[in-house]
Every structure is written in structure tokens, then in C-alpha cells.
Amino acid sequence: MRKLVAMQQTLGSLGEDRVLERILSHIDPGDHVSVGPGDDAAVSTLPGPTVTTTDMLVEESDFLREWLDPYRLGIKAAAQNISDIYAMGATPHGLLMSLSAPSDTHIDVIEEFTRGLNDEAQRAGAAIIGGDLSTGGLITIAITAVGYLRTEPILRSGARPNDGVFLAGTVGHAAAGLDLLFAGHRLGNSDTDTFIETQLAPRPDYTTATRLPGWAHAGIDASDGLSGDLGKVARKSGVDIELDPEAIAGLAQQVLPAARILGDPDLALTWVLHGGEDHGYLVTGPADMAPVGLTRIGTCVTGTGKLTLDGTDIQPGAFTHFSEAQ
């Protein structure tokens, strides 16, 4: 009986220490790490102020078991946290990984998740520096990203009248992917892969993100959607943001093929305005000179914190947690 359980290679049969050993085999060492995983805490000797952020992924709320692709989930968990570090104008350093999963979860699921997390961290020059494992009925992941600043932080409150408003990366692709998944589409079809891939494993534009510090006046990780996130920048900065109708139409054009597949072309604009999870960067800065990789999508004007398109207020329409009452 004991042997059979061990052969199943579940978290329950292996025990915490052996699971940790397997996880650690997928982790590359990082820079500025004085003490890595394996003691009570990690020690990092960072060349600037410390930047920290945390984000969760919860089964049934953020992903469904039937779509579960643990490697891609690892990428997503890393990307959504690393993006918050870049959005502050900071440099990613390390990730701490808290993971709870049912005890009958196969070790391969955890190893693939760790591989994805590690690979995406590496893409940003960061490393996994610590973690915790637990058991629970649903797969729940909480990642904390640690970074450091070389310049002043980029805040949500720094936008000024006459700033250009720019996007690095995409918006609406992950939302299109989500609706495609709900409609039964899966990876393996060239018409829909790019959208589903962005939902399952977003790959934010880190290269452009590294060009933002020193130039951007304000910035935010577009995790909740353009309407919600640019709305926050407008309110916190005390400016109005006027979206450029042509630029928004261009973004909608990118996701139109997915909207057509689902039989509702109007979905394209909804995804672009309100869809989150691509983890593009929304930034404001001098309108006449901007880092390569940014797309101009609007302008900051003197105002009171409104976001408008063609003179119409755009209210936040993003998915927010706990929002059963909408």
C-alpha cells in the first residue's frame, strides 16, 4: 500500500520535504541573492530601494481546472507580478511562491508550474527566492515579486496635462481568449491561439518596460482593463484622459477576428476598453518623444479625473473580484 501511494507521486505521498526538493531542482539562481531558498527567509542585497507587490491566482475564480496548463499558469503567475514591478519603473529581482493544492495533486503539476514561473522570472532577469507549500481543496497561488529602483518610482499620480498616453503591449487579447475558452475553444487553432495564449500565459513587453524609468510621468500595469486602470491614473493625477478614437479603433481591430468567431463584432471594443490580464503598461509622459515600443492612445488634459472617448465618459467596466452585484 505504501509503495503504491509512493508510485502515484502525489503531494500527499511524497511529503513536503521531497516536494520541495523537486521544486528546487527547477529554480535557477539569481543576482543579488545572498541567501536563497532553504532557510527561514531569503536575503537580497539590492542596489536601490526595495519594491514589493503580491497577486493571487485562485482556481475557479482566475482559472478553471479543465483548462489547467500548469506551465502556462506559472508564466501567468510570474508575469502578473513582474508587471507590477516594471509598472513602478523598477527592476525585477525575485519571486516568492506560495502554493496550496489538494494533496492528491500529482507532483508533475507542481514541477511544471515551477518551471513556468522560473522561465518567466528569468525572462525578466529575476529568480525564485523563496516559497511555501500547503494543502487545500482548490489550487491557490500567491506570488510576491521583489524588485528595486534605480530612479524615482513611476506612480499612478504623476500624469500632467499635455502628457501623451501610451500603451506597451496589448489590451483585450486576454479577455478575447477568456471568452473563447468559455465558448469551448482550445489551443491548437491558428485563428484563436494568440488570444487564448495571452489569457493562459501573458507575455508582457518587458523590453519596452525597461525604457520607461526616467521618461514616464505616470504608469500602471493594465491588469484590470484600460477603463479601470487609466481611470485610476486620471483620478489619482487629477487630470482628464481623452482616448484617441483612431488608436482605440486600431486596438479593437486586433481582436476583431476573435469577436467574429464568437458571432458578435461589438465584443472587440468591449474587450479593448474593459478587458484585463494582458498586463500591458499604460503610461503617460512627454507627448513629443517616447520610448520605442509604445503606442500612443490618448492625451492628458486639465480636468477632474475623467476618462473619455469621443466626448463620452468611460466608466470602469473591468472584472473586479467580489462583484456579484453588478
Q: Which of residues 189-228 bind a second copy (CB under 8 A)?
A: 219-221
Binding of residue 35 to a second copy (CB under 8 A) = yes
Binding of residue 98 to a second copy (CB under 8 A) = yes
Binding of residue 84 to a second copy (CB under 8 A) = yes
Binding of residue 74 to a second copy (CB under 8 A) = no
Q: Which of 25, 47, 135, 189 binds a second copy (CB under 8 A)?
A: 135
Segment contacting a second copy (CB under 8 A): 39-47, 177-185, 192-200, 301-309? Answer: 39-47
Please state, in angstroms and rounded to a whole number, the distance separating the CA atoms of residues 317 and 227.
6
Least distance from C-beta 202 to a second copy, angstroms? Answer: 16
54 labelled as ligand-binding?
Answer: yes
E strands, 188-293, are 218-222, 239-243, 280-285
Is the Cβ of residue 53 or residue 198 nearer to a second copy in the bound state? 53
Please state, in angstroms and rounded to a whole number, the distance separating the CA atoms of residues 60 and 22.
27
Residues 99-128 that bind a second copy (CB under 8 A): 100, 103
Is the Cβ of residue 230 or residue 258 nearer to a second copy in the bound state? 230
163 labelled as ligand-binding?
Answer: no
Tell me the backbone φ, ψ of residue 164, rounded to 5 degrees.
-80, 150
Is the Cβ of residue 17 or residue 288 nearer to a second copy in the bound state? 17
Question: Which distant-in-sequence residues (6+ apart) come within 8 Å of 285 by Cβ?
Answer: 163, 164, 166, 212, 215, 216, 217, 218
Binding of residue 90 to a second copy (CB under 8 A) = yes
* CB-CB contact of 147 with 88 (8 Å): yes
Binding of residue 15 to a second copy (CB under 8 A) = yes
Binding of residue 234 to a second copy (CB under 8 A) = no
Binding of residue 149 to a second copy (CB under 8 A) = yes
Residues 264-323 that bind a second copy (CB under 8 A): 320-323
Q: Is 15 exposed, middle or buried (0-12, 13-18, 19+ CB in 10 A)?
A: exposed
Binding of residue 173 to a second copy (CB under 8 A) = no
Indicate the residue type of 138.
L
Question: Which distant-in-sequence residues (6+ apart) come within 8 Å of 233 by Cβ?
Answer: 156, 157, 159, 218, 219, 220, 241, 282, 284
3-state SS string for 122-149:
HHCCCEEEEEEEEECCCCEEEEEEEEEC
Assigned C-alpha cell, 121? 522570472
Q: Which of 25, 28, 29, 43 binds a second copy (CB under 8 A)?
A: 43
Is the Cβ of residue 94 or residue 169 nearer to a second copy in the bound state? 94
Binding-site residues for substrate, in ranges, read 62, 277, 319
